[in-house]
Structure 1
C-alpha cells in the first residue's frame, strides 16, 4: 500500500472555536501574563511553606492486615512486647586478632549504647567462631523510622570507643531505617535539567524557546512537590514518593510545554498575532494535553485497586505531580508564550526555527511515504526488536532488595557482609533475614513443652533451614516464640522457597493435632508476603488500566480498532521494559555501570508501578500522534494521507520529547536507592522504545495496513458514546 504519487501536503492547522473554555483560558493568560506568572510563583512559595509547616513524613512500613506476618506481630506485641520491640544489630569486626582483645573499648561501647535515648536493652554480644566478628542486639521503645536519620550521630558517638580501638563498626538489621540517609537526588535532577536544556536548544533552535518549557516545568514540579509534602502531613508516603513525583512531573511538564510551544510557533509562522496564536494553541493542543494528563492520572490512581496502601499512595504522589503539571501547561505556559510573543526566536543557535513541520518535502514526509510503501517490512522489524527486548521477562524473579545491595563500604553493607561471612552459631547469610515463628497457644490441646519439641524436631530437618533456636514461652504463657534462620540471604530465591515450604507444609505438619497455629513474622516474612500479594494483584491492575484506556480512546477517537491497537502495543512496550530490567538487575548485565555490587531481584512493587506509569506516558505519545492523524482524517477522510501527515507533523516533536524524558529518567539512575535506579532505567527504556519503535514504526505501519478499518465504529455504539474529540 502506498501514498499517492503527489507529495504529502501539510495539513491545514484547524481553527479552534473561540468559544471553548480552553481558548478563553489561553487568551486570558496571554493578556494577563505577568499576573498569571506571579500567581504561580506565589503558589510555589506557599506550597513549600505549607510543606515545611505540616512536617511531611515519609516511610516504607508495609502492613498487610490479616497476613501471617501482621497476625504474628500482633500476637507477639500483646504477649511479649519486649520480644516484638523495634531493634537492630551493632556489628563489630577486626581484620586480625579477636574483638575480645579490645575488652575495655567493647565494654565502654556497650555502656554508651545502653545510655542512648529510647534504647531499652542491649544484649550480650554474640561472637563468631574465630572471634573476629561480634554483634549485639539493640532494642528501642519506638519505631526506628520515627527517630530520624539524625539519630545516626548518636550511634556513631556511642561506638566511638570501638572505632578508636581499631574495631570496625556496622549497623545491621532494621537499623538501616535510621542509618540510611534520605536519597539526595539533587545531582540527578541537575543532570536531567541540563540534558533537557541541550535537547531543547537543538529542537527549538533558540534560547528563549528552549528555556520556556524548562522553567515552566521546574515551577510546576516545585508546586507539585510542595503539595505532596502537604498531603504527607496527613498520609504517610513511601520515601521514594518525592523522587518519583519529580521524575514524572519534570518529564511530562517539559513534554506538555514542548507540544504547546511547537504548535504556537507554527501559528506564528502561519501569520497569527501572538495572543491569537496562544488562544488557538491552548484550545487545540491544550485539549490533547488535558486528555493525556487524564489518561496518566487514571493509570496511576488505578494502583489503589491493588489494595496495598503504600503502592496506592505512590500512585497518588505521582498523580499530584501530573495534575499540577497539566494545570501549569494550560495556564503558566500560555502566559509565558503571551509574554514572550514573537521574541520566542531570539538568541538563535541555528538559522531556521523549528515548528511542527519544515514543509512538504522534509525528512519526516519522506519517511512517512517510505513506511506507507513497505508497511509489512517496518512492522516486522519493529515487532521483532521489541519482542527480543521482552524475552528476559519470562525469567523475572520478584523479591526485596536487602542490605547486601548497599554501596560497598557503607555501614549497613559492612554489617551485612561481616555477619554473612563469619562462621559459628548466630552467623551466616540467613541471620541477616531470619523468620520469627509465633505459635498461638490459646487453644492448645497439648502442653507448651510438647509443642516446642515437635517444632524443633519438625523444622530442624527442613531443607533450607540453617538453625532453629530453642522455643520459649512468653511471660503470659499464651504464645511460643522461636527463630528460624535460613541457610541463604533475605533476597535469595531459596529463602523465598523456604518461606513457602514453612507456611504451606513444615509448620502446619509440626503443629498438627496440637490445637495451635503458627505465624511466620519479621521483616523478611513481611516482604515475602508483600511480594506474593503484589504478584497476585498485578493482573487486576493491568485489567483496570487496559479497560479504562480502551474506553477513553474509543470515546476520543470514535474507533474500536485504534484503542485495541494502542493497548496491545503498550503492553508490548511494557513487556520490553520489564525484560531490560531483568537483564540488567537480575542477570547482572551492566550492573556495574549503575553502581551495583551484585545481581538483585526485581523489587516486588516495581513492575506494578512501572506498568501504570509506562502505560500512562506511552498514551501521551499515542494521543499526540493520533490527534494529529484524526485532524486530517476528519478533514479529508483519506486514511493514507491522514497517517502520513500526522506522522510527519508530530515525528520531530515526539522524538524530541522522548529524548528529553529519557534524559530526565536516566539522570536518576545515579540515585543511591536501588529501587529508584530500577524505576528510572525502566521508564527511560520504555520511553525510548515507545516514542521510536512503537510510535514511529509500529503504529503508522499498522494504520497503513488497516486502511479505513482504523476508524471503524458500529453506528449503534457511535450514537451512545459521549462526544469528546481531540
Structure 2
C-alpha cells in the first residue's frame, strides 16, 4: 500500500489492524513477529485505538486481487459465463460419448509373486491364461445336466458366437466343472476384457444365448464379472436423487431462500457432470476401477454443494453493506473463495497422497475423486458468482421463510455455546476425546480382505451363482488358487520331474485347509507345472488367508527346494491377498505423507504450528472413529442387515486407505473455513476467546447445513448395489457428522481456549521462510475495486 503523504499510520483494509510504516520489523499481514495483532500491544509501545472500517481517505487504493477481479467479472457478465460453461459441458460430454473409456478393476501388482506367476502362465501358454473368466452356473434341481446335453451344446455354441468371447468350456466336457451327482455345473466363458465394463444390453444377448437351457427347466445364473454387469442399475441413480433431494430440503429450511438453495445445486451439478465426462476421457488412456464413477459423483456432489454454499452465504451477508451486487460477488470470491481454493487443494493433495501406496489401482481412485473435486471448486468460483450476478439484490425474492444470515451480535446460541466451552475447556476436551476414542475401539480388530459375491443380496444373480457353486463344489470353489512351478534343468529330467510332481501333489493335498488339488500338469512347452488348489473355506474367510500363507511360506518351499524349483501362487484370490498385504504395509507411509502435506499447508495459511498440529491430531481422531463404525457394522455385523448386507464381511482392503485420504481432506475443508474466520477476528481484536466465539458463530449455520448436505449425499449411497460403496458411504458420512459436531463444537473451541495466545505463535525464522497464503484475503477489497 502507498504510504500516506502525512506519514500518519496507515490502516490495512480488511483486517482492521494498524501497521506503522516506519517500523520495518512489522509483518505485511498486520501482525508482529509473535503473530499477535499490532494493536494487541507491545513492550514499550501503547496499543493504538481500534481503526475505523475501511481505508482512510488519504490512502491510495491497492489493486484488486485476481480472485476479486474474477468474481466481479463473472457477476457482471453472467450470461457469458453460463454460456461458456454450457459449451464446455456439451463439448466434454460429447467427447466422452465418442471416445470415453471403460472402467474395470485391475489388481495387478508388478514385481510381486502373484504377478510373476500370472506373467509366466501367459508367456508359456498355461491353461486358461488368456482373457477374463466368468462362470455361467447351471443347476437342474432334479435329474442331471447330462439329460440336457443337446441344450448344453446349443448354448455353448451360442455363447461362443457372442462378441468379445474368446472361449467357452463345456461343463459336460471339462474335468472338475460338474458335481459328482451331475446336477450342478458351469460354463467357464473367457472374455477379451472384463464383462463388468460392458454395456448393460450385453446381458440381454447372454440371456438369449442361454434361453434353451432355461426352456428345459435348468436354472442359469451368472457369476464373476458377468454377474456384476447384471446388477440392478437403478440403485445408484436413486442414491443421487435422494442426496440431491435432501440437499434441497436442508438448504431451503436452513436459509429460507430459493436462490440460496438453487445456486449451489446448479453449480454442483454442472461441476459433477463436467468432471465425470473428463474422467471418462481419462479412462480411455488410463485404467480406472469400476467404482470410480460412483466415487467421483459422491465426492463431486458433496464438496461442490459445500463450496458453492459457503460462497452464497458470504455473498448474502455482504449485500447488506455493499450496494453493487457484482462488487459483493467479487469480495465474496476474494474472501470465502480463497478458503474454497485452499480447501479444494487440501482435498486434492490428500488424494494425491494415495500414490504413495505404490499401487496404481489406489492412486487412480484418488485421481477419479480429485477430478470432480477440482471441477466442483472451479464451478463454485466462476459459475456461482455468475448466478449471483443474475440474481442481483433480488436473491431473497423467492423464499419459503424469512431468510437468515450470520449473526451480527454476541447473544446468539453459538456465542453462548462458545462461552460455555471457554469456561470448562478441559471438561469438553475430555468428553469429545472420549466419544471419538470409544467409537474408534472396533478399529483395533479391523480385518482386511476382499468382499466377494457372498455378501451380495440373494436377489442378485452373482449371489445365486455363488451359492450354487458353494453348495455343489464347496465354498472354496468360488476362489481357487493356481500354483505355478518353474523348472530348472534337473526338473526337465523325466525321473526327477515325476518325483517332483508326486511330492508336490502330496504336499498340496496334505496341507491343512486344502479341499482338493489337481495333479500338477506341464504347460505345452514343458517349462512350467500348473496345479489348481481349492480351499475348504470361502474366499473372504480368514481361514483362506491363512491357507495362502501356509502354501507360500511352508508347503511350496519344502516341496520344491530339493529340486531347485520355484513356486508361485496366482489367480484372483491370491492376487487379492497380495493386494491387501501391500496396502497394509504401505498405509503408514500414506498416512505420514498426507498428514505432513496438510500440516505444511495449514502452517503456511494460518502461520501457527500449534493450530496446524492440532488440526492434524483432531482429524486423526475422527478418522479412527469412522474406521471403528465401519468395522462394527460390516465386520461385526451390527445393523449390517439394515444396509442390505446379511453376513459379516471383512473390510475391503483398499477402503481404509481411500477413507483416510478422503476423510482427512474433507475434514480440512471445515477446519479451513472455521479457522479462517477465527483468524480474521483475531487479527481484528487480539482477543483469542472472543475470536473463537465469533468464528464459531459466523460459520455455525453454514457449516452445519453443509455438513448435513454432504452427509445426506454420502449416506444416500448406502442404497448402492456394491458393498464396498456402502462401506465408503457409511465411513464418509459418519466422519462428516463427527467432524461437524464433536470436533467443531467441542474439541476445536476447547483446545483453542486452552492454548490461548499460543495459538498464533510462530518462530520468526520460520515465519520468514514460509510463503504467504491468506485463505480469506481482504475482507474489504480496495476502494478502486469497489468503485469500478
C-alpha separation between the residues in 2 aligned to 1:315 and 1:184?
A: 23
What SS is found at the alignment partner of 1:332? helix
Deviation, 1:98, is: 3.6
Note if contact 2:103-2:288 (Cα within 8 Å) is conserved in structure 1: yes
Mark the CA change 1:116 to 1:657 in structure 2 (over 3 Å): closer, same or farther.
Answer: closer
TM-superposed CA distance for 1:132, in Å, is 3.0
Local SS of the residue matching 2:567: strand
* Kept after mapping to 1: 8 A contact 2:231/2:721: no
Matching residue within 227, 230, 233 for 2:284: 233
Aligned counterpart for 1:490 among listed residues 539, 548, 551:
539
Post-superposition shift, 1:175?
3.9
Q: Give the equivalent residue in structure 1 for 2:334.
A: 283
The question of whether the paired residues in 2 share the 8 Å contact of 1:296 and 1:613 is answered with yes
Secondary structure of the corresponding residue to residue 529 of structure 2: strand
Cα separation, 2, equivalents of 1:231 and 1:115: 31
Paired residues for 1:26-425 under 5 Å: 26-86=71-131, 87-117=133-163, 118-125=165-172, 126-140=177-191, 144=195, 149-173=200-224, 175-176=226-227, 179-180=230-231, 185-351=236-402, 353-357=403-407, 359-422=409-472
Render the CA deviation track for 1:466-523: whole Å, top value 9, x for unaligned: 1111111111110000011111011111111111111111111111211110111111
Give CA-to-partner distance per residue, 1:150-193, whole Å, 9 cap, x none: 43333322221211121111223454465457686221111110
Q: Does 1:428 align with 2:468?
A: no
Secondary structure in 1 aligned to 2:262? helix
- Alignment correspondent of 2:32: none
Match of 2:755 among 681, 699, 706: 706
CA distance in 1, matches of 2:138, 2:244: 43
Aligned in 2, Cα 1:358/1:167: closer, same or farther, shift over 3 Å? farther
In structure 2, C-alpha distance between the alignment counterparts of 1:231 and 1:129, rounded to whole Å:
48
Could you list the per-position Cα deviations for residues 332-364 of structure 1 after superposition, in whole angstroms to 9, with x for gaps in the alignment?
11111111121111122112x212225321111
Q: Is 1:639 matched with 2:688?
A: yes
Taking the aligned partners of 1:174 and 1:434, their CA distance within structure 2 comes to 16
Q: TM-score, normalising length from structure 1? A: 0.94
Give the Cα separation in 1 of the matches to 2:221 and 2:646.
Answer: 18
Deviation at 1:671, TM superposition (A): 1.0
Rounded Cα–Cα distance in structure 1 between residues aligned with 2:73 and 2:567: 67
What is the deviation of 1:270? Answer: 3.2
Match of 2:395, SS?
Answer: helix
Match in the other structure for 1:657: 706
Contact 2:196-2:225 within 8 A present in 1 as well: no
Q: 1:245 to 1:178 in 2, by over 3 A?
A: closer
Structure 1 CA distance for aligned equivalents of residues 62 and 340 of structure 2? 17
Question: Which range moved further: 273-282 or 137-146?
Answer: 137-146
Instruction: Find the structure with the greater CA-based Rg.
Output: 2
Higher mean C-alpha displacement, 284-293 vs 52-61: 52-61
Change in Cα spacing, 1:13 to 1:43, as seen in structure 2 (3 Å) is farther
- For the structure 1 residues 14 and 39, does the alpha-carbon distance in structure 2 shift closer, same or farther, using more than 3 Å as the test? farther
* Corresponding residue SS for 1:437: strand
Structure 2 CA distance for partners of 1:12 and 1:514, relative to 1, 3 Å? farther
TM-score (ref. length: structure 2): 0.87
1:7 corresponds in structure 2 to none
User: Once the two structures are superposed, what CA deviation does each residue of 1:585-634 show, in whole Å capped at 9, x if it has no partner?
Assistant: 11111111111132211111111111111000000000000000000111
Q: Which residue number corresponds to residue 6 of structure 1?
A: none
CA displacement at 1:18 relative to structure 2: 5.3
**Contact residue 136 and residue 188 of structure 2 kept, 8 A:** yes
Provide the rounded CA distance (Å) in 2 between the counterparts of 1:595 and 1:273.
53
CA distance in 1 between counterparts of 2:280 and 2:178 reads 44
RMSD (Å) for aligned C-alpha atoms: 2.0
Kindly state the Cα deviation for residue 454 of structure 1 after the two structures are TM-superposed. 1.3
Task: State the distance in 2 between where 1:139 and 1:283 align.
Answer: 57
Secondary structure at the residue paired with 1:169? Answer: strand
* 1:505 corresponds to 2:554: yes
Q: Which runs of 5+ in 1 are unaligned?
A: 1-10
**Structure 2: tracts of 5 or more residues without a match:** 1-50, 56-60, 776-788
Write the distance in 1 (CA, Å) between the matches of 2:409 and 2:72: 28
- How many Å separate the matches in 2 of 1:205 and 1:177? 43
1:295 deviates by 0.5
In the alignment, the residues of structure 2 paired with residue 609 and residue 221 of structure 1 have an alpha-carbon distance, to the nearest angstrom, of 20
CA deviations 1:293-313 (Å, max 9, x no partner) are 110110011111211111111
What's the CA shift string for 1:56-112, capped at 9, x where partnerless?
Answer: 221102211121221111111122254313323221113344444444434433443
Q: 2:576 aligns with which of 527, 547, 551?
A: 527
The 2-side partners of 1:251 and 1:274 are apart by 27
- Alpha-carbon offset, residue 53 of structure 1: 1.8
2:643 aligned partner: 594
Does the aligned pair in 1 maintain the 2:213–2:220 contact within 8 Å?
yes
Distance in 1, Cα, partners of 2:127 & 2:230: 22
Q: CA deviation at 1:55?
A: 2.8
**C-alpha contact (below 8 Å) 2:102/2:197 kept by paired residues:** no
Which deviates more from structure 2 when the two are superposed, residues 448-457 or residues 176-185? 176-185
Q: Which whole-Å CA distance do the structure 2 matches of 1:18 and 1:193 have between them?
A: 40
